[in-house]
């Protein structure tokens, strides 16, 4: 029985190879067609690049939470002086509409990279229609393609990244986001401190 099964297997393999040899040209044609299709799809797809940068964000606690001072509570409630900030809150600010609109204004004002390429985020339909779109749409695209996450729970470091079909745009918007966040954060702190100082002088 074992010998008979072995012979059957040999016969089956022989038939298989014979069939393949008889239809080799058909198989080669199919292989060639699928190879061409795969190559066309690979070429037609626009590659997506991503650039990331890190920024240090100080996570602070409310300095007046145990002071019991009515004046301290008033400053905290009205002007934010002494109010704590968390990484989660700062991440929301980075992904906020306000910051994305500020970024959109900067990109629309510049429009072109140093090498002369128009930023894809402001195209109506990249790479087919280079018509410049409006501020709100640019801001929405920036929010959708922008990532912001804490690198490590033990450290106050946030990673900011941006995806784009143009490498220059990924680096530009990633760096622009970090610079804009730092500028807005500093301006907000100065405004709150100035308002509180004016209140105390009254």
Encode the chain (202 residues) as per-residue pLDDT tens digits: 544 554 555 556 677 777 777 777 877 887 888 777 766 665 666 789 999 999 998 765 554 444 445 544 554 454 444 444 688 888 999 999 999 999 999 999 999 999 999 999 999 999 899 999 999 999 999 999 999 999 888 888 999 999 999 999 999 999 999 999 999 888 776 666 666 556 556 6
How confident is the model at residue 164, as a pLDDT? 96
Tokens (6 digits) for 133: 């779109």
pLDDT in the model for residue 136: 97
Check: CB of residue 154 under 8 Å from CB of residue 147: no
Residue 192's CB is within 10 A of a number of other CB atoms, namely 17
Tracing tokens 């994305």 back to the chain, one arrives at 100
Q: Distance between CA 123 and CA 167 in Å, rounded?
A: 16
The CA-CA-CA angle for residues 107, 48, 114, to 5°, reads: 40
Provide the pLDDT for residue 21: 76
Distance CA 103, CA 180 (A): 7
């Amino acid at each position: 029985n074992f010998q008979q099964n072995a012979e059957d297997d040999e016969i089956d393999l022989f038939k298989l190879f014979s069939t393949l040899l008889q239809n080799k040209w058909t198989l080669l044609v199919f292989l060639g067609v699928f190879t061409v299709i795969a190559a066309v799809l690979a070429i037609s797809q626009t590659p997506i690049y991503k650039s990331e940068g890190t920024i240090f964000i100080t996570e602070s606690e409310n300095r007046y939470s145990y002071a019991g001072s009515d004046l301290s509570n008033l400053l905290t409630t009205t002007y934010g002086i002494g109010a704590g900030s968390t990484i989660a809150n700062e991440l929301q600010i980075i992904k906020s509409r306000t910051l994305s609109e500020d970024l959109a204004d900067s990109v629309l004002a510049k429009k072109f990279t140093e090498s002369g390429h128009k930023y894809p985020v402001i195209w109506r339909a990249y790479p087919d229609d280079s018509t410049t779109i409006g501020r709100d749409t640019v801001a929405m695209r920036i929010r959708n393609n922008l990532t912001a996450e804490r690198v490590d729970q033990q450290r106050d470091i946030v990673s900011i990244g941006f995806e784009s079909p143009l490498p220059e745009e990924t680096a530009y918007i990633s760096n622009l986001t970090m610079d804009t966040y730092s500028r807005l954060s500093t301006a907000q702190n100065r405004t709150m401190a100035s308002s509180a100082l004016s209140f105390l002088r009254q």
